[in-house]
Structure 1
């Protein structure tokens, strides 16, 4: 594969980021590339999703997945190919994922020593944790051959050329909640005539902190974050409502249920204690399941990854609090999944790091995904990512 051509593709995608379910240009680039590689192409799945099918007789079916959407983040990298879209950038690295999958699609199309079917899945709206489900709901599994394995990779602030692969649970489930607290507004000089939702919200935020510290066992994992508190318009006006935006991360479905129940109990009780005119509205706006690598599939895939970067550079980072909706594709089709991290950071930043603990310590100090300063180094991240995705696919093709 022409690395200079892929580098141009990557820089073009980086310059033109598109938000979730708005990935029309990106989808067009992917679809055009697939056609040039002689894939059958289906566009508009789940909105802007694209699937490509390459058949080589009887044999296994392998799904390769990349997400396409960008974030509402203003880029501050100073790159010569920085985003040209105000307030939008590929701060998570999905442009790298698209580039990898395009490169792997071309490599597999040019090879003649495998049998089976390759399905490339270019997915929208991962950042909303809705794109995979949208493609499933739009009949993805009925419009392309069903997979025997789902494979994918995510760029990470690990040194370029290193891989993080965790058999079993790898990434946490994520739930994002919008909580609307109802009060009774009025003049700030006469609070006794109101039910102040700002005060209720403040008490609620503090009480929510006790869920993890007092209701989750020390040998279980949960994170409860209040990411936004929104209320009011003026100094001397007590508003009618206040809004809290929450995010929770868990691995165990039972812990998730317990945390969600605790949130509901606390929010309703704090409102009742303040004499709120009605119960708060609690809405789960985004939800992604735990990403669980099939243990046998991960171990089968590992040697293919090692063949590209070396055995010493395929590490097990354990469970991480990040989240992904790619699991939806595997669950909906009953297929095992293997998903891994691929480093995209300048290896010089990791001089002296020898273990995954060392790597994670350095990663915590440098810009990571979702930072306005985050960007992977194109060289060798692009070529390595194409090689690892291709090698993993070939392991599952006869």
Structure 2
């Protein structure tokens, strides 16, 4: 069993790199500076770098020194996302975002730094028998950057036996990690329901078909899709987040528009809810003399871990942070993740690394006061290093 190098000498530079990314966040497919900084770091390690997939994506390749390292069947992929969110940061520390309205509020700066840390350790001691492709992906936040990289040839140019990814999780204290076989994150779609009625004067409602009460009635009915048509032991979330209608108080509008999201862990449950939503919308509108048009906006499929790879990932987590601090059957989350597209193409697993502070949960993701916990950079880097070494020690 090969041992890993010590991460300590590299931590200062990794923290500095992570905070520089945090200070200079870039939104999906705009990660030009971010991509340049990552490429420069990887080049300093001597890795072979490929740029341009999904505009700003990077794939860096490191071949080990083993006798079978060049065998295409002995290659794995490690992925980190690198885009920020359209949020104005409320933190006041010296590396807070300098780009107003843009912020690393999901920790992608930390994901990138952890993977660069893993690349640093592996390149310092490349005595493993295989090839690693480090995938730095743009556009995770709503851009489906993973899908675009795949469509542009990611796994054709860089075939892998398996692919792995890691996400910080503030609800989990630092020093803990978790993974599970099967669904770990939800499928999600956004939807728009347009209720078309007949407008008119507010004093003459009998001459109109008012879309506003129809929309209100429909929202109430839609809540039953989960509570009364989905198995209570299954998981689904149906949320209406916005309703638009009208201009002034004394005019009944022609139209009302409902916006929302649907999230499920199972594909069949997702299909059921979307199909039922369309039927219910049409029938409720018709019952009031109106019409309804449902527009489904494609989202991400469920992130489904492959059993063998999830088990392997849990073993490496236990070796990194200890069995007591590893949950091999962590509860799934109803958030969504475009690494799901990669898991549809190749075997692999997606896990969580605790990002809390002082044994307590941290500030939640997508919050203006969020920050990645630099104390876990070393844990993440060592995990990636160990995962690669252990993968190539076993028969693949």
TM-score, structure 1 normalization: 0.89
Q: CA RMSD in A?
A: 1.9
Query: Aligned in 2, Cα 1:243/1:86: closer, same or farther, shift over 3 Å?
Result: farther
Contact residue 26 and residue 102 of structure 2 kept, 8 A:
yes
What secondary structure is seen at the aligned counterpart in 2 of 1:226?
A: strand
Matched, 1:78 2:92: yes
Contact residue 179 and residue 313 of structure 2 kept, 8 A:
no
Q: Select the residue among 9, 12, 33 that pairs with 2:17.
A: 9
Instruction: Report the counterpart of residue 308 of structure 2 in structure 1.
Output: 296
Hey, what's the Cα distance between the residues in 1 that align with 2:209 and 2:30? 41
Instruction: Report the counterpart of residue 342 of structure 1 in structure 2.
Output: 353
What secondary structure is seen at the aligned counterpart in 2 of 1:345?
A: coil
Q: Select the residue among 208, 214, 232 that pairs with 1:218.
A: 232
Cα shift at 1:106: 1.8
Q: Select the residue among 355, 371, 381 that pairs with 1:375.
A: 371
Instruction: Report the counterpart of residue 359 of structure 1 in structure 2.
Output: none
Cα shift at 1:151: 0.8
Cα shift at 1:7: 0.7
Q: Deviations over 1:164-208 (max 9, x none)?
A: 111222222222222233333344344334333322221111111
Hey, what's the Cα distance between the residues in 2 that align with 1:244 and 1:192? 24
Hey, what's the Cα distance between the residues in 2 that align with 1:301 and 1:348? 23
What secondary structure is seen at the aligned counterpart in 1 of 2:263?
A: strand
Hey, what's the Cα distance between the residues in 2 that align with 1:25 and 1:186? 53
Query: Aligned in 2, Cα 1:381/1:233: closer, same or farther, shift over 3 Å?
Result: farther
1:162-201 correspondence runs (5 A): 162-201=176-215
> Runs of 4+ in structure 1 displaced over 6 angstroms?
none
Give the unaligned 5+ runs of structure 1.
Answer: 350-362
What secondary structure is seen at the aligned counterpart in 2 of 1:65?
A: strand
Hey, what's the Cα distance between the residues in 2 that align with 1:72 and 1:184? 37
Q: Select the residue among 322, 335, 345 that pairs with 1:310.
A: 322
Cα shift at 1:148: 0.7
Hey, what's the Cα distance between the residues in 1 that align with 2:282 and 2:177? 44
Query: Aligned in 2, Cα 1:192/1:252: closer, same or farther, shift over 3 Å?
Result: same
Instruction: Report the counterpart of residue 395 of structure 1 in structure 2.
Output: 390
Q: Deviations over 1:207-254 (max 9, x none)?
A: 111111111122222111112222233333333332222211212222
Cα shift at 1:387: 1.1
Q: Deviations over 1:244-295 (max 9, x none)?
A: 222112122221111111111111122222322x431x23324212222222
What secondary structure is seen at the aligned counterpart in 2 of 1:154?
A: strand
Query: Aligned in 2, Cα 1:21/1:231: closer, same or farther, shift over 3 Å?
Result: farther
Hey, what's the Cα distance between the residues in 2 that align with 1:32 and 1:194? 64
Instruction: Report the counterpart of residue 254 of structure 1 in structure 2.
Output: 268
Hey, what's the Cα distance between the residues in 1 that align with 2:233 and 2:315? 32
Instruction: Report the counterpart of residue 341 of structure 2 in structure 1.
Output: 328
Hey, what's the Cα distance between the residues in 2 that align with 1:240 and 1:164? 50
1:21-36 correspondence runs (5 A): 21-36=29-44
Query: Aligned in 2, Cα 1:393/1:181: closer, same or farther, shift over 3 Å?
Result: farther
Contact residue 161 and residue 384 of structure 1 kept, 8 A:
yes
Hey, what's the Cα distance between the residues in 1 that align with 2:28 and 2:205? 42
Instruction: Report the counterpart of residue 37 of structure 1 in structure 2.
Output: 45
Instruction: Report the counterpart of residue 3 of structure 2 in structure 1.
Output: none
Instruction: Report the counterpart of residue 352 of structure 1 in structure 2.
Output: none
Query: Aligned in 2, Cα 1:396/1:328: closer, same or farther, shift over 3 Å?
Result: same
What secondary structure is seen at the aligned counterpart in 2 of 1:126?
A: coil
Query: Aligned in 2, Cα 1:71/1:191: closer, same or farther, shift over 3 Å?
Result: farther
Hey, what's the Cα distance between the residues in 1 that align with 2:249 and 2:363? 37
Contact residue 167 and residue 295 of structure 1 kept, 8 A:
yes
Instruction: Report the counterpart of residue 147 of structure 1 in structure 2.
Output: 160
TM-score, structure 2 normalization: 0.89
Q: Select the residue among 319, 329, 333 that pairs with 2:332.
A: 319
Worse overlay, 170-179 or 204-213: 170-179
- Aligned residue pairs: how many? 377
Hey, what's the Cα distance between the residues in 1 that align with 2:201 and 2:379? 62
